[in-house]
Structures are given as C-alpha cells and as structure tokens.
Amino acid sequence: MNDIDIRKVVQEELNNIAPEVDMAGVDPKADLREAIDIDSMDFLNFITAIHHRLGIDIPEIDYPKLITLDGAIGYVEAKLGLGKT
C-alpha cells in the first residue's frame, strides 16, 4: 500500500459518512468535522472504519491526529510504516 492508496481509503471512508461531499474540494488542512459537517459520532465511525479496513489500532488519545485529511493520511502512513517520523 502506498500514499495514493491510503488517501483513497481515507477519502472513501469519509464519503461513506458524508456521501454528499466532494472530497476533492475539501481543504486537506481543515478540521474534517467542520469541512464536511460531521458530528462526533460520525467522526468516531470514520475512525472505526479506518481501523477495520486497514487493521490498524487507533487509540483514543490519537484521535486528534486524524482531525484533518492530511493528518489522517499521515497517521495511517506512519502506522503502516510508510510515513516519515
């Protein structure tokens, strides 16, 4: 899996939660909860979906690291050993 694959997975899971949003138009540094208008339960569903789809553990203390699109992608890359430390 590479960074393009990870970006695709993250965007697909966000689209599952907010299908009306064009992810191409979302600022990668914006707070996803505001950018795609999701609540805390939707955000938790996103975290859970990433966990199940990619098999990575995401402890609650790390949730803030996934608040932005870039943050989520970077976090997943790091967990899969692809990111820069």
Confidence at residue 85, expressed as pLDDT on a 0 to 100 scale: 42
Residue 84 lies in a domain: no
Tokens matching residue 53? 């789809």
- pLDDT tens digits, one per residue of 22-42: 988 999 999 999 999 999 999
Q: Which domain holds residue 39?
A: 3-21+31-79
Position 56 in a domain: yes
Q: Are 50 and 72 contacting, i.e. CB atoms less than 8 angstroms apart?
A: yes
Confidence of residue 16 (pLDDT cuts 50, 70, 90): very high
Instruction: Report pLDDT digits (tens) over 37-82.
Output: 999 999 999 999 999 999 999 999 999 999 999 999 999 999 998 8
CATH code for position 9: 1.10.1200
9: in domain: yes
Domain for residue 64, yes or no?
yes
Query: In the chain, how many domains are there?
Result: 1
Contact 46, 13 (CB under 8 A): yes
